[in-house]
Amino acid sequence: MHNSITLGQYYPVKSPLHSLDGRMRIFVTLIYMIMAFVCNSAASFLMLALFSLVLIFISRVPFGVIMKSIRAILIILLITFIMNVFFYTSDAEPLFEWWIFRLYTEGIVKAFMMAVRITALVAVSCLMMSYTATPIDITHSIEAIFEPIKFLREPIHSFSMMMFIALRFIPTLTDDTDRILTAQKSRGADLSEGSLFARIRNLTAIMIPLFVSSFRRADELAIAMECRCYHGGEGRTRMRTLHYRASDFVILALFVVYAAAVVWLNSIKIFGY
């Protein structure tokens, strides 16, 4: 009865984006996001969309998988689009007028741009932070980024160790929950029946043993870590050091070209947009 939960949505294939150095990953993702907000012309938005597609292609994560994360924000996307279309006001001649609604061409274009921006941001941040990297990789990367800043090193180390252990214990605690749930069910606990009060009461039958077991685990883990000479981040080394590879710089170059292209394309207007 093993519970296998893959945290996040890591898609296990080999690609230059999967093997990207953690620090570089965070850096280029930031470039991407900033540029997504810098975009203001139709041409640069086209560039944004195109570049996002290129990234997905490089990652070798199927397009359909990425679409899943976009589907999740479809409602938000729709609402922003409608808001932008209907609440845009301008002195210009409206394209369409009915009752209190006035639609402007510019409003529609702006709404469209916003939709592209949100879609691209969600798709690419999921791609960079979830599909091509595990949460543990991300945790390590954050720690590595702050490594050179001395006064931040220790708190960031503690934080990332905490995250790391939390992630490590999710399958264990899921198994615990399952076991306790089974045990209480066979004593007649029923979480789906009865009044709200009865249900809360039944929940305590699950929660208390779960807390007790978690605390016990935490306690034993702390002792085990201490016995393995853990004493914080001070003087600690790592077996896997992060290394920049040639392909990392190719990816970086790609992002720099994209950033430059966005800046340049912002000054070029197509049909005035």
| Contact set with other proteins (CB under 8 A) | 1-2, 4, 136, 164-165, 167-168, 171-172, 179-180, 182-190, 204-205, 208-209, 212-213, 216-217, 220-221, 223-231, 235-241
Cα–Cα dist 4/12, whole Å: 15
Q: How far is the CB of 168 from other proteins (least distance, A)?
A: 5
Could you write out the DSSP letters of every residue in 21-47?
-HHHHHHHHHHHHHHHHH--SHHHHHH
**How many alpha carbons lie under 13 Å from residue 172 in its C-beta half-sphere?**
12
Q: How far is the CB of 181 from other proteins (least distance, A)?
A: 10
Residue closer to other proteins by CB (options 10, 112) is 10
Residue closer to other proteins by CB (options 148, 241) is 241
Cα–Cα dist 88/82, whole Å: 10
Residue closer to other proteins by CB (options 83, 218) is 218
Cα–Cα dist 146/131, whole Å: 24
Residue closer to other proteins by CB (options 98, 195) is 195
Residue closer to other proteins by CB (options 216, 245) is 216
- On whether the CB atoms of residues 59 and 18 are closer than 8 A, the answer is yes
- On whether the CB atoms of residues 146 and 129 are closer than 8 A, the answer is no
Q: How far is the CB of 96 from other proteins (least distance, A)?
A: 50
Q: How far is the CB of 133 from other proteins (least distance, A)?
A: 14
- On whether the CB atoms of residues 66 and 123 are closer than 8 A, the answer is yes
Q: How far is the CB of 209 from other proteins (least distance, A)?
A: 5
